[in-house]
């Protein structure tokens, strides 16, 4: 197997129950672009040492405004933008290790995006693949550009 990039998608469990997802991040994260979506985002946080636990508010099928720092896969996106959320777990801000940076958040302070400071690994808590995230295609294009740039360096 020799992928150019990996997307770790949503799922109905916790990172500790996510099967091969965590192993994929551990094995490929240092040398291949990885995008984690929802559970994939939580797995990224968990693998690198952040705490993932019950969110203060369950968000299933609700949109939120997402603020961001304009880096990585969020480059060129409006700030803020509307995104659909389906999750009951969250990565906790006070547990973020030095190797990760918070890239996106809600007005309530819930982490909506993370990226590794050295590896090409990024995660989003919201769902860019949904029609209810209008900038989703642009975010996914940014990830594909990251993959293309990484494989042609």
Active-site residue among 31, 41, 127, 152? 127
Query: CB burial class (10 A; 0-12, 13-18, 19+) of residue 60?
Result: exposed
For the chain, what is the mean pLDDT? 95
pLDDT given at position 31:
94
* Residue 93 DSSP class: G
Active-site residue among 57, 129, 137, 152? 129
Report how far residue 28's alpha carbon sits from residue 133's, in angstroms, rounded to the nearest whole number.
28
Active-site residue among 13, 17, 38, 68? 38
Could you confirm whether 127 is annotated as catalytic?
Answer: yes
Could you confirm whether 122 is annotated as catalytic?
Answer: no
Q: How many helices (H) and strands (E) does the chain have?
A: 3, 7
Give residue-wise pLDDT tens across range 44-87: 999 999 999 988 887 888 899 999 999 999 999 999 999 999 88
pLDDT given at position 2:
85
Give residue-wise pLDDT tens across range 30-39: 999 999 999 9
Could you confirm whether 118 is annotated as catalytic?
Answer: no
Q: Judge contact between 40 and 21, C-beta under 8 A.
A: yes
Please give the domain boundaries of the chain with CATH numbers for all domains: 6-151 (3.40.50.880)
Give residue-wise pLDDT tens across range 130-146: 999 999 999 999 999 99
Report how far residue 17's alpha carbon sits from residue 26's, in angstroms, rounded to the nearest whole number.
15
Per-position DSSP letters for 98-127, written without gaps between them: TTEEEEEEETT--EEEEEESSSSEEEESS-
State yes or no: pLDDT of 153 exceeds 80: no
């Amino acid at each position: 197997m020799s992928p150019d990039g990996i997307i770790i998608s949503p799922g109905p469990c916790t990172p500790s129950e996510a099967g091969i997802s965590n192993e994929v991040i551990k094995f490929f994260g240092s040398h291949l672009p990885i995008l984690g979506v929802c559970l994939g985002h939580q797995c990224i946080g968990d693998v690198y040492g952040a705490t993932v636990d019950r969110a203060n508010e369950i968000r299933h099928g609700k949109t939120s405004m997402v603020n961001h720092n304009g880096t990585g896969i969020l480059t060129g996106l409006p700030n803020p933008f509307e995104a659909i959320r389906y999750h009951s777990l969250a990565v906790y801000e006070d547990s973020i290790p030095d190797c990760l940076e918070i890239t996106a958040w809600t007005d309530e302070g819930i982490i909506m995006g993370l990226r590794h400071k050295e590896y090409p690994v990024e995660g989003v808590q919201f769902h860019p693949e949904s029609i209810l995230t209008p900038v989703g295609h642009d975010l996914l294009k940014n990830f594909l550009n990251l993959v293309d740039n990484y494989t042609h360096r």
